[in-house]
Structure 1
């Protein structure tokens, strides 16, 4: 091989690799739009769009449904809001990405700062400062709050409505889980009238600011991949119909020009880049499925803790790339249609991280569903029961997960005689 040919080959490989990484960060809708725009300029490129679905008597384009879901998703929203920080790159972008990965559907931040700081190699105080900056930048106020009090505080600060009475009230809101407004007044050191006025003000705030972005992309569209049992356990199979495809038109026998030859070269390299994108997606999904075999057998109670960072380390991709691959991606599984991101469940247990939040919520649902309504289980008792099962979570976290499971405090669940 001559030096000139070797240089051309290296340049071509570099072009394909760069394009594949660019394509990998695109959603299905963005990818199809990009390919169609490219095909409009390249006479030798043909794009096959994903198939159309028929719902009732109306034909609905799959891509439009995906684009609408992704455009309104919480993750897409905060990605746009924090684009200024993410564009700075380096450790700051890694920190912001790590915080985003722990954002729950409610809009609360569910991660552990110490664990995240250790994973990305940053001090906890510095990471706390990044979190505060993220909280300041995003809208609506209250996103990335670590608990209810912080969520409400951020909204009050944004509205310039944080009075001394409300400042005294916020740390003691947990009293209402088992007590009365009078108990709250004593805990906060406020007059009953001030507590009533404060609670009325707090009821006008949004305790779950992320919920407004939640959409159900499973409605009206088919999955991107199927998880099915194979010879080596559960395996993932990508559906060709869910992805756009490229075809390169052969050069005509006559009338070939230098421009047509260049168009064909560009089309072939783009097709190679698209193939690399599919290969990368397959790698990420295979790693994801391999680490959640128990979930496909037993459901949420067997969902193991898993982070985007862990998947990135397993596949060799950047965590932000892994996150983009999974964003808006749907899997058909034995447990039903799920978003691929759901399988990246953060750890609930401190220290060992042996249990995911989904596991804790599933166990809570089981215990609460079987409780005696005449003597409902308190959050403290639930924490003790979970501890006996090897799951270490605080009473405060039990209360948080109980709320996520849709159960009211014990005092409100008690059946009156």
Structure 2
């Protein structure tokens, strides 16, 4: 057969990952905070975009004419129609308009004390602001960090420059929990100081507030706090030297090593529980950020559930079509027209993408609520096994889309705020060939069984397997052990020792 070259036309369909499609995918998996930042950046970059009110508007109608456009058109003579206005004339008109845009607020100043009002006006004028308004958050003091707290105590505790230098070097070696992660010998070598001087400075630093700072391990941290309470006796020192036995709840060995009876050991354990193993964390906490639920679920009048998007977590943007019409008619060259066209296309795309994102999240959340109706009505014990494919098939979407729509999204329900991924749990087979059980419901049942056990009848993992089997849950012993360890529940041997100790303490 002869070989020859020829041309063929072939029509195929393929998915092309355009920049807009990639950005839409990113937009779907953004958290509420990330979405707000992204929208703010787009509004700042695109002159045709404006932030819209979201509290009382429905999803939809993303492209509309803004009120600001009407104001621009009515004030078209703001700069005048002359093409040869001087820069000084434009500047004068701009200053005048800004003065009219931000008038004084007499209601605010009338509520202030006259003397304080004068002081704040002077401060604002001195800073170059020229405005009588102020924000109390700007006057709030910055949070005190661990480094600042320790630095203040170093300034009062040491008078010699060499000692302050050593103390500052040691303070730089503190981690967020307040532990010293720098070797004093290495610090002495770096500073060229006597190791004995470094040890003396460290000893004084360990007396700083709160007690426990500058410790090199947990035992030293607890001993510093006990010394501050005048409770570091030989028996307590022996207990701190064998914290590994305490972690294993080996109370018999601890009583022998400490030379105390059971009652004294229980008192010592109570003192240990009252100490702070991480004293530096009191200064490392930043401002707490409240979780904003993306979806709200409420009981409906017909006995079902009403699923709605949270308007506070739904940013809205408006495309200023009128402003585009005004400025596009005054474009001087093709480059300006292309720029305005790209801005309009980008603005329309963003508005549609936000609308599609909201609809996708609402559709996924509605299907989750339908699948987990028993959980909302009766609690975690009735949580059904659910995976992404089940939801994707029910709403006609791809599994990856459902995964992105539920990532870092939260749902406000009558039973609390839950991450949407919480409702997707693995299935545990039923022993009687019935409906399978959710892994989260099985964890809750294991926790309940262990909390109800008595000191004389501690449940082993095998016993828990038998009890769950009687309830129709077919589960392996290794799975029970994995769930128990995941909930930070110790083994039956450690629980037996601890419950006996607690029973003796109550007696």
TM-score scaled to structure 2, two decimals? Answer: 0.43
SS in 1 for 2:322: coil
Maintained 8 Å contact 2:387/2:424: yes
Residue among 393, 398, 404 paired with 1:324: 404
- Measured in 2, the distance between the counterparts of 1:26 and 1:339 equals 14
- Measured in 1, the distance between the counterparts of 2:438 and 2:44 equals 47
2:289 paired with 1:225: no
- Measured in 2, the distance between the counterparts of 1:378 and 1:47 equals 59
What does residue 328 of structure 2 align with? 256
- Measured in 1, the distance between the counterparts of 2:346 and 2:381 equals 49
What does residue 100 of structure 2 align with? none
CA drift of 1:380 comes to: 0.9
- Measured in 2, the distance between the counterparts of 1:219 and 1:22 equals 23
- Measured in 1, the distance between the counterparts of 2:326 and 2:417 equals 51
Q: Using a 3 Å threshold, how does the CA distance of structure 1 residues 273 and 45 change in structure 2: closer, same or farther? A: same
CA drift of 1:390 comes to: 0.8
Maintained 8 Å contact 1:330/1:340: yes
SS in 2 for 1:251: helix
Q: Using a 3 Å threshold, how does the CA distance of structure 1 residues 25 and 221 change in structure 2: closer, same or farther? A: closer
What per-residue deviation string (whole Å, max 9, x for no partner) do you get for residues 129-168 of structure 1? xxxxxxxxxxxxxxxxxxxxxxxxxxxxxxxxxxxxxxxx
2:268 paired with 1:268: no
What does residue 245 of structure 1 align with? 316
CA drift of 1:286 comes to: 0.9
* Structure with bigger gyration radius: 2
TM-score scaled to structure 1, two decimals? Answer: 0.52
- Measured in 2, the distance between the counterparts of 1:368 and 1:361 equals 11
Alignment of 1:281-292 (within 5 A): 281-292=361-372
**Gaps spanning 5+ residues in structure 2: where?**
1-17, 56-135, 139-247, 251-286, 330-336
What does residue 95 of structure 2 align with? none
Residue among 442, 447, 450 paired with 1:368: 450
Q: Using a 3 Å threshold, how does the CA distance of structure 1 residues 49 and 324 change in structure 2: closer, same or farther? A: farther
2:382 paired with 1:302: yes
- Measured in 2, the distance between the counterparts of 1:350 and 1:239 equals 38
Q: Using a 3 Å threshold, how does the CA distance of structure 1 residues 251 and 244 change in structure 2: closer, same or farther? A: same
What does residue 423 of structure 2 align with? 343
2:471 paired with 1:383: no
2:14 paired with 1:27: no
SS in 1 for 2:465: helix
What does residue 333 of structure 1 align with? 413
What per-residue deviation string (whole Å, max 9, x for no partner) do you get for residues 283-337 of structure 1? 1111111111111122211111111222222223332322221111112112212
CA drift of 1:411 comes to: 2.0
Q: Using a 3 Å threshold, how does the CA distance of structure 1 residues 377 and 360 change in structure 2: closer, same or farther? A: same
Q: How many residues align?
A: 247
RMSD between aligned residues: 3.6
CA drift of 1:49 comes to: 9.7
Residue among 362, 386, 394 paired with 2:476: 394
- Measured in 1, the distance between the counterparts of 2:484 and 2:388 equals 25
- Measured in 2, the distance between the counterparts of 1:347 and 1:275 equals 34
What per-residue deviation string (whole Å, max 9, x for no partner) do you get for residues 247-266 of structure 1? 11132464433454553344
- Measured in 2, the distance between the counterparts of 1:308 and 1:386 equals 27
- Measured in 1, the distance between the counterparts of 2:399 and 2:137 equals 39
Maintained 8 Å contact 1:380/1:395: yes
* 30-39 or 221-230: bigger deviation: 30-39
Q: Using a 3 Å threshold, how does the CA distance of structure 1 residues 49 and 368 change in structure 2: closer, same or farther? A: farther
Q: Using a 3 Å threshold, how does the CA distance of structure 1 residues 374 and 322 change in structure 2: closer, same or farther? A: same
CA drift of 1:245 comes to: 1.4
What does residue 46 of structure 1 align with? 50
